Structure 1
């Protein structure tokens, strides 16, 4: 129900008697006995108090008719306005107030009449009129009750048009000038409206408002909002300040309890990093590859010659066993062991990420899982993704090779469909076209059907085949059967295998694919990593070892820094990583926690690979 804005008035008059009367000097009237005037006014007042508005209106009208110069005439008009407002006749009430202002400009009721005019607009749903005319009205009011009422009305209007930030601001201005019991009413409005704000809005208002009650409520709500967003250190700071400044606030006890729990959670071992990897189960080969990369980074970090005077770094390794429940339990165990951050997992990253986010632990996942960093601001990803690969291929094809038309042959399963979709989107974004896209059964060995369809497509410059080398090695030789030749072949990082060159040796020459790591790179960082890895483990590392190594090196460097004193600071520092130079090239993290890398583009040459510049 809309709020009604009524003021105390002492008399009433029918609108038709004055609505059209021009502003001019009121003519003299005969002097009547004071007792007759007072008697008429008293009778009208009694009827008004009894809510007999129709009868009261008649007597107020009679008063104005007989005593237009009476001392109570402005009060009578104000009382008439409240009658019309209470009966929903807001336009008539507005004309009453305008008449009062025009004919009794020196009356003390004029400022109230101006405010009540805004009230009639509000009651009619004309909220923008309230906001637009308020600046003019404020010039004519001086008393605290009037100022409080005007600002409260402005707060209501801004709330009605969907601007709770401005609403809270004007409620706070009203609260500065209000007294009990109005202060309780405005205070409830402030509390209810703050509940509609985002944490960013609350922070903005803290820099604008001066009213202590509003500031206290903002600090309390902002602290709780930050707790829900897992901005634990920010929440601790603002809630600690809240307790100090508002020790008598009704929620102080609850805040003290929250801070006590927060302190328990926030305690952590600064130089201990957790590792959550699939060391057993179906994906153990990948987990153990990643662990070897992390262990190499740890051995280098502990080298006292290279890192004199640095605090020791420790790792706690947990096996996810590729099981979601085990991954959740492992994150809980790492939280209890107070690790600074977690590396991994490769599989079960989503459930692990949610648990780490809940515990306020930065976690750098090694997964291709889509939208993994959408879980929260403590969840990062440092891995080779389909999107990265597609962006690198299409950019090279369009900008370096000048190609604009493409075809796609892809397996009818998730991997192929994902790459096909991303490839189409990236080609379109760079102004290219897809001449044809055909899928095949991933279990087939004869691909003549889909190849024939591709051959019948409009001419294209390049063919993209997002599949493993054993499949690509079967498909590529069959292309010539349908006169598909002289086109550039593109694949994914799965083509980084000797098997493809062996299966389709001459036909696959010049094919290009991306990868995040190339062990034969001329990069000094890659050469050092490969040399140390081979010395330690007796084999050449692959991209999983390299990504895990880079991730560990980044984290080990950060946790040792004396200026990073809590997990929130560590999380924020990860977001600020720009062009970290490692075995996988340059790595940067954006504000969402996604890694950005410039991938290697490799070309098949003979039975080996060579780096391309792009």
Structure 2
């Protein structure tokens, strides 16, 4: 029997079995690989979590060309800072607003000159203004204002006057001590009276005066101040008339009693009438109706302010009442000084055709503050007064010049004006004196001047004039005729009243 192994017959059952046995492992291997692939793909999802494939980066946009922005102008480097306390509401808002406009005009000029001034404005009519003053930066040691005595009193009560230097825009400080508790940057009643007495007493030699005043607080205050100032010059008050401002029917009798002091002629050469323009305009005719037409009439600054308003409103005035009247003022818009004309130009550019003393106060205060510089906190009053005197010395004021005495008291050398149909006109003292003498000699036929030439600074020589009423008995010679220029002569610059010397006629 042949036992040699032979390969199975492909058609036999055994061959089929062997073939099946060989295919099964392959199938199992393939199934295992598929299961493994499925498992692995599931695991990949599990391990990747919520992460998604990063999208491709977008293409970089083209870089835009950025034009450089213009460089803004540099902020001004303030060399000095001050504060101002003004009433910008209530009944005094007009005056406070005018001071503020003057300050702004000065700031503009200072900025152009390269010395900008930082100004903190505080409205004294708003709640919390005291705290606003208290919380000012420590480098601000100078405050302009206040403008009202009640505001000053509140500062005093709050103990604020000792913390900073206050320059009040007020004629007086009430109970506060000027030059110690506070200072002023404003004309006073004494400045008005000083201007009037320097003309009438010092220059004209009149030494006997009358006071005709209303019986109110203003009339009494001004009348008493005039009497004190006159006595210091050796002059006398020889008559006083006090009328009830609410009873016009009694004014004539009051004036008549005052005029009887000289046995048929007034025993005085000038009369001071400290009253508002509207009422004084009705009192003056009582003097003329008693056939007294040669008194020198001295009015307060209230008259000058009223004359400016009348000119601005084109209102008529009774010029015949003021042939021999003079009144003081701190503002003269026709002054050709640089500061005055700068302010006038700035105000007109802002639409204000008629600036007045209030704008001048703000304009000059800001400019003076820039000259003053910073004051160290706690500076003693003597040092403050000295610094103020230095700052105002040589300063070109837009209003009448202001100075400080060594004890810190302010003085304004006020101008003197005469009333005219065109408003206040700066007084020519010599021409006015000659007119006064001519009226007293009855040499002037027309009692009411028709034109401004009636007040020519160089009139034709009159008859020999006699001394003014109340002056020392000295002969007065006529002035030789001088050539009259083609146009009325105007002063080249402001001439404060205390410097308007009167040559002997």
* TM-score, structure 2 normalization: 0.61
1:514 equivalent in alignment to 2:325: no
Contact 1:373/1:593 (8 A) holds in 2? no
CA contact (8 A) 2:328 2:417 kept: yes
* 1:456 paired residue number: 260
* Bigger Cα Rg: 2
Distance 1:476 1:350, change over 3 A: same
How far residue 344 of structure 1 moved from its aligned partner, in angstroms, is: 0.8
The question of 1:343 aligning with 2:161 is answered no
The answer to whether the aligner puts 1:536 opposite 2:338 as a matched pair is no
Partner residue in 2 for 1:265: none
Using a 3 Å threshold, how does the CA distance of structure 1 residues 603 and 535 change in structure 2: closer, same or farther?
same
8 Å contact kept, 1:581–1:587: no
- 2:169 — aligned with what? 366
Aligned mates of 1:590, 1:428 — CA distance in 2: 22
Displacement of 1:429 after TM fit? 1.2
Q: Secondary structure at the match of 1:507?
A: helix
1:555 aligns with 2:369: yes
How much does 1:409 deviate? Answer: 0.9
Match of 1:298 in 2: 107
Q: What CA distance in whole angstroms lies between the structure 2 residues aligned with 1:295 and 1:439?
A: 44
| Mapped pair 1:284 → 2:93 | yes
Cα separation, 1, equivalents of 2:363 and 2:156: 20
The offset of 1:527, in angstroms, is 2.4
The number of equivalent residue pairs is: 335
CA distance in 2, matches of 1:350, 1:565: 24
Q: Which runs of 5+ in 2 are unaligned?
A: 1-77, 428-499
After superposition, the Cα gap between the structure-2 partners of 1:393 and 1:295, relative to the gap in structure 1 and judged at 3 Å, is same
2:319/2:419 contact within 8 Å kept:
no
Residue 355 of structure 1, CA deviation: 5.0
SS of aligned partner of 1:463: strand
What's the counterpart of residue 414 of structure 1? 217
1:393 maps to which residue?
196
CA contact (8 A) 2:316 2:421 kept: no
- Residue 377 of structure 1: SS of its match in structure 2? coil
The 5 A counterparts of 1:368-517 are: 368-371=171-174, 374=177, 377=180, 379-446=182-249, 447-458=251-262, 459-496=267-304, 497-498=306-307, 499=310, 502-517=316-331
Residue aligned with 2:90, SS: coil
Matched, 1:331 2:140: no
Structure 1 partner of 2:413: 598
Partners of 1:533 and 1:390 in 2: CA distance: 30
SS of 1:568's partner is: coil
SS of residue in 2 equivalent to 1:431: coil
The aligned counterpart of 2:424 is 609
Structure 1 Cα separation of the partners of residues 166 and 208 of structure 2: 40
Structure 1 partner of 2:491: none
Residue pair 2:164, 2:377 contacting (<8 A) in 1 also: no
Per-residue CA distance 1:235-289 (angstroms, 9 max, x = gap): xxxxxxxxxxxxxxxxxxxxxxxxxxxxxxxxxx972211111111121111111
Query: Cα gap change, 1:524/1:611 in structure 2, threshold over 3 Å: closer, same or farther?
Result: farther
CA distance in 2, matches of 1:300, 1:356: 35
Q: Deviations over 1:346-386 (max 9, x none)?
A: 11224335657555311111012345661663621011111
Which structure has more helix as a fraction of its residues?
1
Is the CA contact (8 Å cut-off) linking 2:134 and 2:160 kept in structure 1? no
Name the residue aligned to 1:568: 379
Distance (Å, rounded) in 1 between the aligned partners of 2:411 and 2:107: 24
Distance change >3 Å, CA 353–CA 601, structure 1 → 2: farther
Question: Aligned equivalents of 1:290 and 1:396: distance in 2?
Answer: 30
Give the distance between the partners of 2:340 and 2:396, measured in 1 at CA. Answer: 10
Question: Structure 1 residues 558, 320: CA separation in 2 closer, same or farther (over 3 Å shift)?
Answer: same
Q: Are the aligned partners of 1:519 and 1:530 in contact in 2 as well (CA < 8 Å)?
A: yes
TM-score, normalised with respect to structure 1: 0.51
The one of 398, 404, 408 equivalent to 1:583 is 398
- Structure 1's 418 and 476: CA in aligned 2 closer, same or farther, altered over 3 A? same
- The equivalent of 2:34 in structure 1 is none
Deviation at 1:553, TM superposition (A): 0.8
1:609: Cα distance to partner? Answer: 2.3
8 Å contact kept, 2:141–2:376: no
SS at match of 1:363: strand
Aligned pairs for 1:27-42 (under 5 A) are: none
Q: Which has the higher contact order (CA 8 A, sep 6+)?
A: 2
